[in-house]
């Protein structure tokens, strides 16, 4: 093992570097990804080492970035597109839904689109409007796209390489407020032996209730589990990791043991991923449930100004309150 302590952001940088080294067809493109190294410095140093033909500074035109990447993918390249902030992805939404997601199907399998669209998402960094969105439901609802999100440095390092190596178009969501959190990373871990890309994992074992989370909320769920343990309740935390296709095998097994389930995400509750997850848990685990599946989400409003974002974001207290309610039925 070659274990290093890296931030999530540095783990992504290291994974991108490894992908560039291993496959000359991998190209990175986006606004300020080259000389600046990206707004969050995720691509820092890559243009210097691999040149401006492989790490490409693009115009400020998200639709142009994705459209160009589609052409590159058709010609055999593996483009990795960076959308600078979550709220900037919408000019490219038509390209993603109408071309990226459908080209393989439309061509009856003759054309593949092996591209990755990296999107820093979520709030918690005190940003201005359009910089703290959680658009995952739009993409998870779109047939033909795969959607994944990392929650820790090890997953960030492994999953970005797995996504780039995939022949499917993948929306890769990066929890921006976790970029600076550190953790151990085995940089020599064989990708085939790590968690498969489209699989969930148990982040913390427990016996009394199951908390399902993904991306930035995994840390919040783990903190809630630590706090609950002080009161004698052992919460099992499942990191979903993949939002489309949803892998709920670990969740089903957990809920059948604990009998209680809370789903947590930052995005608004109405028609959010939590609704689908709660429905599937209810269908599959109905006779094991001791209480209804509850959701802890953002509110059904536009993301608020940064000075009040902590009132909007699910936190430890809201998660623990939902857990308490599952025991009150």
My answer on whether 151 and 234 are in the same domain is no
My answer on whether 12 and 143 are in the same domain is yes
My answer on whether 174 and 268 are in the same domain is no
Give the Cα separation of 37 and 31 in Å (integer).
10
pLDDT over 90 (residue 88)? yes
Give me 194's structure tokens.
């790590």
CATH code assigned at 267:
3.40.50.920
pLDDT over 70 (residue 245)? yes
My answer on whether 129 and 7 are in the same domain is yes
Asked if 265 contacts 214 with a C-beta cutoff of 8 angstroms, the reply is yes
My answer on whether 56 and 187 are in the same domain is yes
Give the Cα separation of 170 and 321 in Å (integer).
35
271-274 long-range contacts, Cβ below 8 Å, gap at least 24?
271/137, 272/137, 272/297, 273/136, 273/137, 273/140, 273/214, 273/243
My answer on whether 163 and 15 are in the same domain is yes
Give the Cα separation of 314 and 311 in Å (integer).
8
- Among residues 193, 216, 247, the one where a domain terminates is 193
Asked if 264 contacts 319 with a C-beta cutoff of 8 angstroms, the reply is yes
CA nearest neighbour of 28 among 94, 98, 121, 118: 118
In this structure, the strands spanning 146-149 and 170-175 are: parallel
My answer on whether 105 and 221 are in the same domain is no
For the residues 257-276, what does the mean pLDDT come to?
Answer: 98
Q: What is the pLDDT of residue 111?
A: 96
- Among residues 193, 220, 251, the one where a domain terminates is 193
pLDDT over 70 (residue 1)? no
My answer on whether 220 and 116 are in the same domain is no
My answer on whether 134 and 261 are in the same domain is no
pLDDT over 70 (residue 15)? yes
Q: What is the pLDDT of residue 195?
A: 80
CATH code assigned at 93:
3.40.50.970
My answer on whether 161 and 284 are in the same domain is no
**How would you list the strands of the sheet with 209-213, edge to edge?**
201-204, 235-239, 209-213, 261-268, 294-298
| DSSP code string of 55-112 | EEEPPS-HHHHHHHHHHHHHTT-EEEEEPSSGGG-GGGHHHIIIIITTHHHHTTTS--
pLDDT single digits (tens) 120-150: 999 999 999 999 999 999 999 999 999 999 9
Round the average pLDDT of the chain to a whole number and report it: 96
CA nearest neighbour of 28 among 43, 10, 15, 39: 43
- Among residues 164, 193, 222, the one where a domain terminates is 193
Q: What is the pLDDT of residue 16?
A: 98
For the residues 66-83, what does the mean pLDDT come to?
Answer: 97
Cα–Cα distances in angstroms (integers) from residue 214 to residues 18, 192, 203, in the given order:
25, 22, 11
* Residues whose CB falls within 8 Å of the CB of residue 323, separated by 6 or more in sequence, listed in order: 209, 211, 224, 228, 233, 235, 260, 262
pLDDT single digits (tens) 190-237: 877 778 999 999 999 999 999 999 999 999 999 999 999 999 999 999
Q: What are the residue numbers of the active site? A: 131
Specify the DSSP element, H or E, that contains 170. Answer: strand 170-175
For the residues 159-186, what does the mean pLDDT come to?
Answer: 97
Confidence of residue 28 (pLDDT cuts 50, 70, 90): very high
For the residues 44-54, what does the mean pLDDT come to?
Answer: 98
**DSSP secondary structure code for residue 246 in this structure:** B
Please, how many CA atoms are within 13 Å of residue 183, restricted to the half-sphere of its CB? 18
Give the Cα separation of 15 and 159 in Å (integer).
8
Q: What is the pLDDT of residue 2?
A: 80
My answer on whether 43 and 101 are in the same domain is yes
Q: What is the pLDDT of residue 271?
A: 96
My answer on whether 206 and 153 are in the same domain is no
**Which residue range is the domain that position 57 belongs to?**
3-193
pLDDT over 80 (residue 109)? yes
Number of domains in the chain: 2
């Amino acid at each position: 093992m070659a274990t290093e302590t890296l931030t999530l952001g540095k783990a992504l940088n290291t994974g991108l570097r490894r992908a560039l080294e291993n496959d000359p067809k991998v190209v990175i493109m986006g606004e300020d990804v080259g000389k600046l190294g990206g707004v969050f410095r995720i691509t820092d140093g890559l243009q210097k080492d691999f040149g401006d033909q492989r790490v490409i500074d693009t115009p400020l035109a998200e639709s142009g970035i994705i459209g160009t990447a589609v052409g590159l993918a058709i010609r055999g390249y593996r483009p990795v597109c960076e959308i600078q902030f979550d709220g900037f992805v919408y000019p490219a939404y038509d390209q993603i839904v109408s071309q990226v997601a459908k080209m393989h199907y439309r061509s009856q399998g003759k054309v593949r689109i092996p591209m990755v669209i990296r999107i820093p998402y979520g709030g918690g960094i005190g940003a201005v409007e359009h910089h703290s969105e959680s658009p995952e439901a739009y993409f998870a609802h779109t047939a033909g796209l795969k959607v994944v999100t990392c929650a820790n440095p090890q997953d960030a390092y492994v999953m970005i390489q797995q996504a780039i190596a995939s022949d499917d178009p993948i929306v890769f969501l990066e929890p921006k407020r976790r970029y600076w959190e550190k953790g151990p990373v085995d940089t020599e871990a064989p990708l085939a032996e790590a968690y498969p890309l489209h699989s969930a994992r148990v982040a913390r074992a427990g016996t009394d209730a199951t908390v399902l989370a993904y991306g930035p909320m995994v840390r919040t769920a783990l903190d809630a589990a630590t706090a609950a343990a002080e009161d004698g309740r052992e919460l099992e935390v499942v990191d979903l990791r993949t939002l489309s296709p949803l892998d709920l095998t670990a969740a089903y097994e957990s809920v059948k043991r604990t009998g209680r389930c809370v789903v947590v995400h930052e995005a608004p509750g109405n028609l959010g991923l939590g609704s689908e997850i709660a429905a599937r848990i209810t269908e599959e685990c109905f006779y094991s449930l001791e209480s209804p599946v509850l959701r802890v989400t953002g509110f059904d409003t536009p993301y608020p100004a940064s000075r009040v974002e902590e009132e909007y974001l699910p936190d430890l207290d809201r998660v623990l309150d939902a857990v308490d309610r599952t025991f009150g039925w």
